[in-house]
């Protein structure tokens, strides 16, 4: 049986939602929050600036490393006094998506970059965190070989930039949640 007073029901529902939101508000800490503004917040960007990123093999590896340096250092070059090393091993996989049966070759393709990474203290081999991330980008293949090659290169660049953002987010999450 429903209440005869719908405004009372609405008020109780609003009170319950407000109480639930208030209870959950204490569970949220911004990843890139400023500790001086939000008590208990971690400044992940400050930790990311302490990352040393060694060279990564291959053309996609160079693009990935450059993007990682840009995202972690804010465009300011390499870390001044790194405390941790982010080592990345990169794999590239290409898969045809659509086959042109008349020509007997793919007309669309997907390139996937798979990164196995680890974080170690500088000068140590002790692994503090290990993970894997991937990013994909698709491109159209044409009968023109150079156009198809260029499209594949651009797809690898897009995937590398996307992968860098994923890696930075995962590493920032680790910095925030790791035991001190």
| Cα 157 from Cα 126, distance rounded (Å) | 31
Burial pattern 100-112, b for ≥16 Cβ within 10 A else e, equals: eeeeeebbebbbb
pLDDT category of residue 79 using cuts at 50, 70 and 90: confident
- 159 closest CA partner among 131, 129, 178, 138: 138
Q: What digits encode the pLDDT tens for the residues 143-178?
A: 888 998 999 999 999 999 999 999 999 998 888 887
pLDDT category of residue 139 using cuts at 50, 70 and 90: confident
CA–chain centroid gap for 4, Å, is: 52
- pLDDT for 64 beyond 90: yes
Higher pLDDT, 25 or 111: 111
CATH number of 44-177, picked from 3.40.920.10, 3.40.50.700, 1.10.3720.10, 3.30.160.150? 3.30.160.150
């Amino acid at each position: 049986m429903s209440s005869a007073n719908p405004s009372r029901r609405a008020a109780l529902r609003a009170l319950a939602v407000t109480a639930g939101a208030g209870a959950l508000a204490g569970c949220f800490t911004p990843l890139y929050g400023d500790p001086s503004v939000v008590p208990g917040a971690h400044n992940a960007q400050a930790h990311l600036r302490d990352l040393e990123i060694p060279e990564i093999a291959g053309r996609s590896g160079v693009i990935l490393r450059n993007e990682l340096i840009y995202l972690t250092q804010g465009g300011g070059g390499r870390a001044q006094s790194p405390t941790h090393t982010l080592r990345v091993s990169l794999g590239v996989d290409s898969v045809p998506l659509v086959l042109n049966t008349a020509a007997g070759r793919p007309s669309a393709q997907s390139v996937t970059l798979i990164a196995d990474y680890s974080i170690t203290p500088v000068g140590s081999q002790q692994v503090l965190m290990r993970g894997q991330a991937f990013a994909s980008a698709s491109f159209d293949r044409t009968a023109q070989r150079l156009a198809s090659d260029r499209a594949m290169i651009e797809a690898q660049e897009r995937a590398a930039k996307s992968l860098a953002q994923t890696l930075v987010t995962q590493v920032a999450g680790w910095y925030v949640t790791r035991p001190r």
